[in-house]
Amino acid sequence: MKISVIGCGYLGAVHAAAMASLGHEVVGVDVDEDKVSALKSGRPPFFEPGLSELLVKGRERGSLDFTTDVSQVVDSRVHFVCVGTPQKPGEFAADVTYVDAAVDSLLEHMTSTSVVVGKSTVPVGTAERLAAVLADTGASLMWNPEFLREGHAVEDTLHPNRLVYGVAPGESGHAATAVLDEVYATMLDDETPRMVTDFATAELVKTAANSFLATKISFINAMAELCEASGADVTQLADAIGMDDRIGRKFLNAGLGFGGGCLPKDIRAFMARAGELGADQAVAFLKEIDSINMRRRVRMVDITRDILAGSFIGKKITVLGAAFKPDSDDVRDSPALSVARLIATQGGVVTVTDPQAIDNASRSFPELNYVRDTSAALAGADAVLLLTEWREYRDLDPIATASLVADRILVDGRNVLDPVQWRGAGWTYRALGRP
């Protein structure tokens, strides 16, 4: 099928390449010329495992193109809207102007057989509003939220754990469902569960899922606060409660908490939208989820300052990790960079290293020092903070690392190192939520 994908960021670029790999003929549209020319030459404009291979294959087969010219969507039957919905500056609400602009740009190319499929995360009610915008063209609208995780985006797009279709009532919803079934035929053949809902439910599924995940992380981080107050170990606590399969161990890793372009802004946008709908009490708890999450960053700084006898002045602090999570170069709302900046403002001499995210980090926060090589970054450190759990940092050898630093002080912000091993090699090892 001929498909267009509007917006080629983390979501759209992966979606376009994945749809081409399923055998469709895909054109990705983006306003950013640099991004489009990178994608055309098979280079992902961001780090995402497996994406480069998919892009190269799609380009070689001739089934994947990218353009800044939206009129090239004219031959496509299905149009996926994959643009961002960032947090509005100074507000909790999501900025949906890019979604509105994407749909507006499609209008003149729509026919009565066109299907517009929204994938962006939007406030509940957006799809119904956009369906009215499209009404005169005869095109159908669906909302098909995306649940991909950065770092696993290719796998999550090609093998999702569920497909959710939000459709209009009646015949137009049935017809659009049949078209999207054709697009996703390979996944449906693999018995991927598929749910058809109304617009509002599909929009809420995404926001509710992200709110639940954020709640799970902040729950265990709240327990970490109690562990710190009582001398207990939050990693053992998580293992023990996680054995109850009603609770489950996944997403119960205590540490520096969540960041990125989704969870923080999605829970805030949810609170804002609930307020508009007069249901703010229903999600008032998300404010506490957000606060617990942000407190972890401050706690990390406090623990480190305490070990350094109460002051960062003149101390060389090495921060391992800048990305909001491993296997990504995304630094949006990165907990690691929040901590690095807080320490720098308190007089610490902060050096940040990361296997992939240094370029993005240095563009966002040029005031910090960046060193690409891990050993060079560790050289002469008075304290080392592990803030993003890249494999390379999890595998660090405490004895070899000791020979690089000035002082053997390590604070494990992600609870991924073995305290016995590190203490055995003479390190002062501290972590969040552990004695």
Instruction: Catalytic residue, from 8, 82, 227, 262: name it.
Output: 262
Q: Are 406 and 378 in contact (CB under 8 A)?
A: no
8-state DSSP, 295: H
CB of 336 to ligand UDX, least distance (A): 9
Cβ at position 361, least distance to ligand UDX in Å: 15
Q: CB 150 → ligand UDX: shortest distance, Å?
A: 4
Please give the sequence-ordered ranges of beta strands (E in DSSP) within 15-69, or none if there are none: 25-29, 64-67
Cβ burial, residue 367 (10 Å; 0-12/13-18/19+): exposed
Dihedrals φ, ψ of 206, to 5°? -65, -50
Nearer to ligand UDX, 379 or 416 (CB): 416
CA distance 396 to 379: 14
> Residue 307 carries which side chain, given as an amino acid letter?
I
Compute the distance between CA of residue 226 and CA of residue 223 in angstroms, rounded to an integer.
Answer: 5
> Within 13 A of 64's CA, how many CA atoms are on the CB side?
31
DSSP string covering 76-97:
-SEEEE----PBPTTSSSB--H
Closer CB to ligand UDX, 248 or 347, in the complex: 248
Q: Which is nearer to ligand UDX, 390 or 427 (CB)?
A: 390
Cβ nearer to ligand UDX, comparing 217 with 269: 217
Contacts of 136 (CB under 8 A, 6+ apart): none
Question: Nearest approach, Cβ of 195 to ligand UDX (angstroms)?
Answer: 16
Indicate the residue among 131 and 361 with the shorter CB distance to ligand UDX: 361
Least distance between ligand UDX and beta carbon 172 (Å): 27
- Would you say 356 and 289 are in contact if contact means Cβ atoms under 8 Å apart? no
- 429: which DSSP letter? E
Beta bridge partners of 319: 352, 385
Contact by Cβ (8 Å): 414, 255: yes
Whether residue 148 contacts residue 111, with contact meaning beta carbons closer than 8 Å, is answered with: no
> Closest CB to ligand UDX among 370 and 390?
390
Overall size of the chain counted in residues: 435
Positions in the binding site for ligand UDX (CB under 6 A): 146-150, 210, 213, 217, 251-253, 255, 257-260, 262-263, 324-325
| DSSP line for 329-370 | ---TT-HHHHHHHHHHHTT-EEEEE-SS-HHHHHHH-TTSEE
How far apart are CB 193 and ligand UDX at their closest, in Å?
Answer: 16
- What is the chain's alpha carbon radius of gyration, rounded to the nearest angstrom? 23
CA 87 to chain centre: 14
For residue 136, the minimal CB distance to ligand UDX (Å) is 32
Is 262 annotated in the active site? yes
Judged by beta carbon, residue 26 or residue 213, the one nearer ligand UDX is: 213
Active-site positions read 262
